[in-house]
Structure formats: structure tokens, C-alpha cells
């Protein structure tokens, strides 16, 4: 399966080198980079450190902490040489993204202590775009990257940021570098990689806005599905998530999770919450398996894992599942997962699992 993100890293780095190549004859050491406290040269070094650091995390399959190394420019390196370092470290990250298997995750400190290859690619592109902007601002140099690159970043690691007038202006606002009409200035920010949970046989992978959009438009979402395609209920749920993202109401941990079988890395279905917990600590859960994966206990296993995780979160008291009265297999799933029937109304049965 094609590694999404490598081409975006390469494009972002090429755009950076082209833009800053116009000012290699200026003083980067004595000029502050935009709103940062670093000089333009220090910012360029930080950018290269990020790119090689992310490549190292993926290549080394790091599970705890960053690999303990750092880089430095050789004495006498001019600004053109600095850009060569950025180009080289960017190429290494792109290569790592291309050669890392889809299911591999490596350590990143926040918020869920891991990221996959697409997440590291998005973080790398973000570093390139934003710090190129910082250096360009310090150099009084106009700079605006391709809109597709800013959108790539926003839809993968800024899921809670409501889309704005343009992707680039929205990304600058979301990182404290600009203003948007009707929105308060951002003073603190962090990006968000997708959450991941594990059960005995499955990995439950939180869906990003980019994945949701692809699934809602009949794409595969970056997964190989048992039976060749996602179920219709999964596509409908993905469409709801896209609407939540557009409204600024997307919360990745309270969204959809694709259920991936670890022994062959194939998706068997999806499960997720209808939204964040309400004021009474109640949250509703739903699920959908492809036909070829039914009858193996995957839904029960995933439901136990996801509902158990939900009840461990602050303020959550009850997980609710609503099942059609004629859907006997689904009733068995929720019962085996520990849910209890509490009401019946209009052909629907309501089940609850309480903490």
C-alpha cells in the first residue's frame, strides 16, 4: 500500500529550499526568525533536527523516547550549505516514510505517545512550512506554500481546528502565527496524532479527518479491507465525522476507530462514539463489521476494549449502545461485552455499561 506523506515531505522541503535560496547571501545568524526567539540560522538547524529526528524514530522503531543523538553544522557552513542539510534530512524522512510498514508506530510524546508514518510525515511537513515562514518573515521575504501541503497538515494532526478561509491562513492561526476573523488569537497549541488502542487480536486506530473524508467518498481510507471495501455503515459514520470537522466539533478520541486485524493488517470494520460524553457522563457507541469478518468475535472484543477505555476517562459513567430489535447478532455482541438492556422503544433496544 502506498505510503502517504513521503511526496508531501519532499514537496515541502523543495519549496523551502527554493524560497530561502533567494536569501542565502544575507546574515541568518544576526536576524531573529519571525516571532521566535531563535535566529534564522538556529531555526534552520532546529528544522533539520526535526526532520532527521522523525526519520530516526521511524527507522529505529522507537518505543520510548527519542534516539539520543543531535546534529550540528560544520564550522564554516554557509547558508547554502544549511539548505543542503535541510534537503538531505528531508530526503531521509521521506525515505523512512516510504519504507516503514503501515502498521508501525514510533514514540512521539503527545498526546498519545505514538505516531504512524503518516503522522510523522505530517509533523515533518508542519515543521518545514512553519519554520520556513519564520525564517522568511525574519528576512522580510514573501512566502506562501502550496495550499495542499497546509491542508495535508491540518487534516492529519490538527483535527480540532475548524477549517478557515484558506488552509495556510488557518495553519498560521492555529500555531499562533496569524489571525482569523472571528477567532481569538492562539497563544498555546499542540498538534494531535490519532489515538490507538489494542485488544487481543485487533488494533483500534483512531480516524483522522483526512481518513474520514476518503472513506466517506468511497475510498479505502488507507486500509486493506476484508472483502475489498468498508461497510456502508462505516462510510456513513465517516461522513458524520467530516461534518463534525467542518463545524469544529471533531474530537479524535471520541470519534471513529478502524478495527485492524494484527495478524494480516487488514481492516475488519469500524467502531466509535457518536460524540463526546454528555453532561451526565453518558456516551453512545456504535459499530459496523464487513460481512466477511463477522462471526469471529471481533465486534465483542473491540467493544470491550473501547467501552472499557471510555469508562476510564474522567467524568464518564455510562456507555450506551442502541440496537435494532430484529438485530439479534448485535444484541448478542453487546450482551457478551457486558452491557445490560435497560429499555425498549420503537423497535430499538437500549443497552448500558456502567463504570
221 within domain boundaries: yes
Give the CATH number, domain containing residue 92: 1.20.120.450
- Give the CATH number of the domain where residue 258 resides: 3.40.630.30
Using the predicted structure, report yes or no on whether residue 113 has a pLDDT greater than 80: yes
Nearest to 107 by CA among 58, 152, 72: 58
State the pLDDT confidence band at 1, using cuts at 50, 70 and 90.
Answer: low
Please count the structural domains in the chain.
2
- Same domain as 234, residue 169: no
- Model confidence pLDDT, tens digit, residues 218-249: 999 999 999 999 999 999 999 999 999 999 99
How many angstroms separate the first and last alpha carbons of the chain?
Answer: 40
Q: Is residue 15 part of a domain?
A: yes
Tell me whether residue 204 is in a domain: yes
**Does 232 map to a domain?**
yes
Q: What is the mean pLDDT of residues 278-293?
A: 97
Same domain, 299 and 254: yes
**Does 14 lie in the same domain as 84?**
yes
pLDDT digits (tens, 9 = 90+) for 168-202: 999 999 999 999 999 999 999 999 999 999 999 99
- pLDDT, residue 355, reads 87
pLDDT of residue 3: 76
Its domain, for residue 68, covers 6-174
Based on the domain organization, do 168 and 215 belong to the same domain?
no
d(CA 136, CA 133): 5
Residue 88 is assigned to a structural domain of this protein: yes
> pTM for this structure?
0.96
Closest CA to 308 of 207, 231, 204, 201: 204
- What pLDDT band is residue 275 in, cutting at 50, 70 and 90? very high
240 and 169 in a single domain? The answer is no
Residue 316, preceding bond cis, omega within 30 degrees?
no
Binned at pLDDT 50, 70 and 90, residue 110 comes out as: confident
Amino acid at each position: 500500500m502506498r505510503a502517504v506523506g513521503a511526496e508531501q515531505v519532499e514537496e515541502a522541503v523543495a519549496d523551502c529550499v527554493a524560497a530561502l535560496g533567494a536569501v542565502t547571501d544575507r546574515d541568518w545568524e544576526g536576524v531573529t526568525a519571525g516571532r521566535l526567539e531563535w535566529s534564522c540560522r538556529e531555526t534552520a538547524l532546529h528544522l533539520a533536527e526535526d526532520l532527521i529526528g522523525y526519520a530516526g524514530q521511524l527507522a529505529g522503531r522507537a518505543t520510548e523516547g527519542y534516539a539520543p543523538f543531535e546534529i550540528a553544522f560544520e564550522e564554516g557552513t554557509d547558508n547554502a550549505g544549511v539548505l543542503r542539510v535541510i534537503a538531505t534530512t528531508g530526503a531521509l524522512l521521506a525515505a523512512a516514510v516510504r519504507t516503514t510498514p503501515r502498521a508501525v508506530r514510533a514514540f512521539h510524546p503527545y498526546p498519545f505517545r505514538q505516531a504512524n508514518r503518516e503522522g510523522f510525515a505530517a509533523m515533518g511537513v508542519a515543521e518545514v512550512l512553519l519554520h520556513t515562514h519564520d525564517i522568511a518573515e525574519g528576512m522580510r521575504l514573501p512566502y506562501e506554500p502550496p495550499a495542499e501541503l497546509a491542508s495535508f497538515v491540518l487534516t492529519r494532526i490538527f483535527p480540532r481546528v475548524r477549517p478557515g478561509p484558506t488552509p495556510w491562513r488557518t495553519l498560521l492561526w492555529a500555531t499562533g502565527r496569524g489571525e482569523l476573523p472571528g477567532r481569538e488569537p492562539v497563544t498555546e497549541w499542540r498538534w494531535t496524532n490519532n489515538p490507538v488502542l489494542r485488544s487481543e487480536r485487533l488494533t483500534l486506530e483512531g480516524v483522522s479527518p483526512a481518513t474520514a473524508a476518503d472513506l466517506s467518498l468511497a475510498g479505502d481510507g488507507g486500509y486493506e479491507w476484508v472483502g475489498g471495501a468498508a461497510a456502508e455503515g462505516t462510510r456513513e459514520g465517516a461522513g458524520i465525522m467530516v461534518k463534525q470537522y467542518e463545524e469544529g466539533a471533531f474530537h479524535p478520541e471520541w470519534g471513529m476507530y478502524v478495527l485492524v486485524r494484527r495478524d494480516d493488517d487488514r481492516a475488519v470494520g469500524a467502531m466509535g462514539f457518536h460524540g463526546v460524553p454528555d453532561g451526565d457522563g453518558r456516551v453512545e457507541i456504535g459499530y459496523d463489521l464487513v460481512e466477511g469478518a463477522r462471526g469471529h468475535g471481533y465486534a465483542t472484543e473491540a467493544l470491550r476494549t473501547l467501552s472499557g477505555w471510555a469508562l476510564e476517562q474522567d467524568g464518564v459513567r455510562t456507555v450506551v449502545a442502541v440496537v435494532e430489535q430484529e438485530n439479534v447478532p448485535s444484541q448478542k455482541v453487546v450482551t457478551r461485552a457486558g452491557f445490560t438492556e435497560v429499555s425498549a422503544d420503537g423497535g430499538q433496544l437500549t443497552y448500558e455499561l456502567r463504570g
